[in-house]
Each structure stands twice: as C-alpha cells, then as structure tokens.
C-alpha cells in the first residue's frame, strides 16, 4: 500500500517510524511519503491560509497550494482514495479502517485552522479515478488533521494483509463483531488478593468461550449501549 500525507507539519509524522508501521515499512508492505504543503506555495512567505469569504473567525487554507500538491501526488495514480480529516466528516469506524486497508493508494490531506477552501475537496473529487472521503474520528474538535490521520493510519495499517503475525488476534478484538472486547488476564493467578476468574483456569474451552461472550455483552451494555441499538 502506498500512503501520501500532505501537511504543514510534516515533522508530526516522525513517530510513525517507531510504531507498528515502522515494521510495515521495513517489510515493504507500506510505502509512506510525507509532503510539506508549503513546498507547493510560490510566495516569499510560503502562505497557506487567508481570511474567510463572508467573514467569521479564523483562517481558511488557500486552494492553490493544495491544487498543486494534489497535481504532484496524484500524478500517475490510477485509483487513489483521498481522505480529508475533518470534524464535519463521516464517522471513521473499524469498518472504515477495514475498507481503506484494502486500497492500493491512500492520500491524506491534513487541514489546519478553520478548514480547507471547500473547492479543493470538490476539485479533487472531480479528478478521474479519485474517490474522496471526508472523515471524522468523533464528536470533538482537534486543531488540525495531523493527530487524527496518525490514528487512522495506525488503525488501517494493522489491517493491511500481512501486517499482524496472528490474524485471529484481529477478529477477537473490540469492534470487530460490534461488541467491546472481553477482559484479559495473565499470570499470576492471584495478584494482591485479586483472583483471575476461575473459568479461565478450568481448561473447558466451551465454558471459556461462553463466559467471554457474556462479558462482551455485559461490558457493551454497560458502557456502549448505543452499539447494541439500546
Ligand atoms: Cl478527523 N479532524 C479534526 N480537526 N478534528 C477532529 C477530527 C478530525 N475528528 C474528530 N475531531
């Protein structure tokens, strides 16, 4: 999978080298390039923002540097998905991560300030073969898309085929079956007077599977009833 990120804070993404993705890049599964939006400006001050038409607070990212950046990054890419992180986007879920993990080329356009001139999104979507998604992590506001994109890339990257040693560990975790994960325990069996639930020491795999499912349902009902439609 090829990943391009366009941002005015390219240094932000240095940490991707030391996470799970470092391994993916070493193994050649993910080829990630970060582009500095300011490299696509043409004025002495490398200006990327301006005041909003219609008035209002804050600054809006100018369309021209974005247009030039996408001209460069999308050249000769047959069917990229361009993701614009935005609190006004559709919700990013495990299903979104699963879909995007199957794509050969993802491009993330990180907006700052009050957003990007909306014509950039419209123009990008009008490029032949390009699919655009505006995506939000949740109902809160971050100062820019960088941290959101880091979270999305971590969620997507671990689902790229060949990334995780034991693929079963991917299907037994929170959100894969619409439920939260069951609680986990390891040795010692007693720690500071706290016991591991005895069923887990029973060796009865059927009983263990039932107990884990009950725990998933109980935990989901308690903290995320919305996931059960309740
Ligand atoms: Cl994707 N971007 C920004 N700026 N804020 C957010 C978000 C994204 N998701 C939740 N809040």
**Residue 166's pLDDT is what?**
66
**Residue 44's pLDDT is what?**
98
Among candidate residues 23, 189, 30, 6, the one with its CA nearest the CA of residue 105: 30
In the chain, DSSP finds a helix count (H) and a strand count (E) of: 7, 9
Pocket flag, ligand 1, residue 140 (CB < 6 Å): yes
The helix/strand/coil state of 25 is helix
* pLDDT tens per residue, range 69-100: 999 999 999 999 999 999 999 999 999 999 99
Q: What is the CA radius of gyration of the chain?
A: 22
Between the CA of 175 and the centroid of ligand 1 the distance, in Å, is: 20
Pocket flag, ligand 1, residue 137 (CB < 6 Å): yes
Pocket flag, ligand 1, residue 139 (CB < 6 Å): no
Between the CA of 88 and the centroid of ligand 1 the distance, in Å, is: 8
Instruction: Give, for all 230 residues of the chain, the pLDDT tens digit.
Output: 999 999 999 999 998 877 767 778 778 899 999 999 999 999 999 999 999 999 999 999 999 999 999 999 999 999 999 999 999 999 999 999 999 999 999 999 999 868 999 999 999 999 999 999 999 999 999 999 999 999 999 999 999 988 876 677 777 777 878 999 999 999 999 999 999 999 999 999 999 999 999 999 999 999 999 999 98
**Residue 165's pLDDT is what?**
66
Give φ, ψ of 38 to 5 degrees.
Answer: -65, -20
- Region of 28 (left: φ > 0; alpha: ψ -120 to 50; beta: rest) is left
Contact between 127 and 23 under an 8 Å Cβ cutoff? The reply is: no
**Residue 36's pLDDT is what?**
98
Pocket flag, ligand 1, residue 110 (CB < 6 Å): no
Cα dihedral 127, 47, 83, 122 sign: negative
């Amino acid at each position: 999978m090829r990943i391009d990120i366009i941002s005015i804070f390219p240094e932000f993404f240095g940490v991707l080298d030391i996470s799970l993705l470092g391994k993916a890049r070493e193994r050649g599964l993910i080829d990630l390039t970060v582009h500095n939006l300011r490299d696509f400006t043409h004025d002495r001050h490398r200006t990327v923002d301006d005041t909003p038409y219609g008035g209002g607070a804050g600054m809006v990212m100018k369309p021209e540097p974005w247009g030039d950046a996408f001209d460069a990054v999308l050249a000769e890419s047959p069917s990229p998905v361009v993701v614009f992180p935005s609190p006004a986007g559709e919700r990013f879920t495990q299903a979104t991560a699963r879909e995007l993990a199957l794509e050969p080329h993802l491009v993330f356009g990180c907006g700052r300030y009050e957003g990007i001139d909306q014509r950039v999104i419209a123009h990008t979507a009008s490029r032949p073969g390009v699919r655009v998604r505006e995506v939000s992590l949740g109902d809160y506001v971050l100062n820019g898309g960088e941290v959101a994109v880091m979270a999305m890339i971590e969620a997507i990257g671990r689902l790229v085929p060949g990334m995780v040693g034991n693929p079963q560990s991917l299907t037994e975790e929170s959100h894969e079956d619409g439920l939260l994960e069951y609680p986990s325990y390891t040795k010692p069996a007693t720690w500071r007077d706290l016991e591991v639930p005895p069923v887990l020491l029973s060796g009865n795999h059927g009983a263990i599977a039932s107990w884990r499912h009950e725990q998933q349902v109980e935990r989901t009902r308690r903290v995320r009833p919305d996931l059960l439609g309740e």
